[in-house]
Chain A
Amino acid sequence: MAAIFSFCSDPASLEGIEWLSCYLTTGKHLGIYWSIGTVLLLLAITAPVALFFGFAGASAARSRILPIAWFGKGYTAIVRGVPDIAFFLFFVIALDQFFEWIRHEVKCPDWDMPIRQGNDFVVCPEAKLPLGTAPQWVHETYGFSLAVLTFAIVFGAFAANVLSGAMRAVPHAQLETAEAYGMTQRQTFWRVLVPQMWVYALPGLSNLWMVLIKATPLLFLLGVEDIVYWARELGATKTAKFTDYPHGDWRMWYFLALLVFYLGFTKVSEVVLDKIMSRLTRGQATAAGEAQRKAAA
């Protein structure tokens, strides 16, 4: 193993800071640093996608066309009712099999064996997703994308509920005024309802964001290694036989570091969300908007 510091070749002889700096730069520890990036990337992609799903769900639930309204309401009701862990174990696997089944139907029309053989799901090798021959990073990226999609569907359902509440919270007089000015349904929705609903949605959405930050350990169910997996793995007792850096049960310290990370992340989120809130309040017909207007005057 290539160590970062030259003095790391014989860890047993080291002490104090030198030992620690070698210990914290082993290939294994690079794994946990890398996983912080994985988690941040997941959040960065999932949050907007989930918000989009939520918006689509909430708008669908308001639709005057019954089947669309049923779809929107069914989506929020079903997904919110199923436990996350069950969703992650079964839905993702089902989704993966659904993709492979479609590819199988398209690519191997003359395949004669059944797809379901007992417990097994067998498609032709060309339909595997990713292909059995694909390098490891493709498998990891695919697993990661499935995770993003699942997170987006789950959190999208919660966001849809928050948003549809927010849409109802916009004062009805506003919508009636818009109609009185001769705006169409569509114009009322986009120009009056949507700009005003965010201020009511934000407290609920910020809650969802906080929950999402802490939901990443579910990733390991899909084989994606997140920070909690690494903290558990690195903190576990290490006997001298299997490592150059033996130590006792250090999980407490690793989880303490995680605690600091999450608290810091929460603090940053709060600051940013406060900024967004004050921006959204500007000019709104709410108590906070009124206070802002008076302070400026």
Chain B
Amino acid sequence: MKTLILSTAIAALAAGAALAEGHGATVRMGTEGAYPPYNFINDAGEVDGFERELGDELCARAELTCEWVTNDWDSIIPNLVSGNYDTIIAGMSITDERKQVIDFTENYTQPDPSAFVAVAGNDVDLAGAVIAAQAATIQASYVAEMGATLLEFATPEESIAAVRNGEADAVLADKAFLAPVVEAEADLAFTGDDVLIGGGVGMGVRQSDTELRDKFTAAIQSMKADGSLNAMIAKWEIGEQF
């Protein structure tokens, strides 16, 4: 009896220590909520999309309790670094520039083709055009490097509106985001060739949070191995599979 009590006590202590060592029970997932199909706010007012489904599955596999929060894209990295949430899961491509500030898990999408969209029937010379993109994205730095005139907007929605009202000649964004828009709007069409930028989308974590990063990377690897990640990519029409 005594040994039973003792071993229970030790088990409880060990569990308590593990809990204190880890991150507490809850991991806060930061997202933008304005970039379908990756992440968006559904009719019920909740975060939904490819990354919601993926994130919930990853949390289940890593045995973490996760909570979803939305944050402005502009301040999404500073708020992660200062600890307002623990991960960024917001269609953020892995780039060297961002790696200087935060760490990424293994990528959960292939480098996603980005595409140009212009007003249908309008033949745009992309090299000399005015091109809209969301601020602080890989697409924005790509436009700046290709020599075209860059027009930055705070939200993806505004960058598309800029093309429709003639402020910009074309918009550059992830193809998976633009495809449903082009499908729904007859006056917009893809133009030029797709471009491959970035190193795929990964989850951003603080550089000091190696334990959390490794847990999520392991979960992503297990989803890659059993094909469930590919199924999710196909379901949300994200693009290339693994």
Give the docked Cα–Cα distance between A220 and B73 (Å).
Answer: 10
Which residues 155-214 in B have Cβ within 8 Å of A in the complex? 155, 157, 160-161, 164, 180-181, 183-185, 206-209
Contact across chains for A225 and B70 when beta carbons are under 8 A apart: yes
- Among the listed B45, B71, B185, which residue makes an inter-chain contact with A28, where contact means beta carbons less than 8 Å apart? B45
Q: Is A256 an interface residue (CB 8 A)?
A: no
Show 9 residue pairs from A and B whose CB-CB distance is below 8 angstroms, ordered by the A residue: A1-B44, A26-B45, A119-B101, A120-B206, A139-B84, A223-B69, A233-B41, A241-B36, A242-B37
Task: Report the interface size for chain A: residues with CB under 8 A from the other chain.
Answer: 47
Residue of B nearest to A221 (CB): B75
Contact across chains for B84 and A246 when beta carbons are under 8 A apart: no
Residue of B nearest to A26 (CB): B43
**In the complex, what residues of B have CB within 8 A of residue A87's CB?**
none
From known contacts A125-B23, A221-B75, A233-B41, infer whether A96 and B161 are also in contact, taking CB-CB under 8 Å.
no
Contact across chains for B43 and A133 when beta carbons are under 8 A apart: no
Contact across chains for A223 and B155 when beta carbons are under 8 A apart: no
Q: Is B42 an interface residue (CB 8 A)?
A: yes
**In the complex, what residues of A have CB within 8 A of residue B78's CB?**
89, 93
Interface residues as binary, A150-189 with B (CB distance below 8 Å gives 1, 0 otherwise): 0000000000000000000000000000000000000000
Which residues 220-273 in A have Cβ within 8 Å of B in the complex? 220-221, 223, 225, 232-233, 236-237, 239-246, 248-249, 251
Which 3 A-B residue pairs are closest in the complex by CB-CB distance?
A132-B24, A27-B44, A27-B45
**In the complex, what residues of A have CB within 8 A of residue B42's CB?**
28, 242-243
Contact across chains for B81 and A119 when beta carbons are under 8 A apart: yes
Interface residues as binary, A1-36 with B (CB distance below 8 Å gives 1, 0 otherwise): 100000000000000000000000011111100000
Q: Is A128 an interface residue (CB 8 A)?
A: yes
From known contacts A1-B43, A121-B81, A122-B208, infer whether A242 and B74 are also in contact, taking CB-CB under 8 Å.
no
**In the complex, what residues of B have CB within 8 A of residue A207's CB?**
none
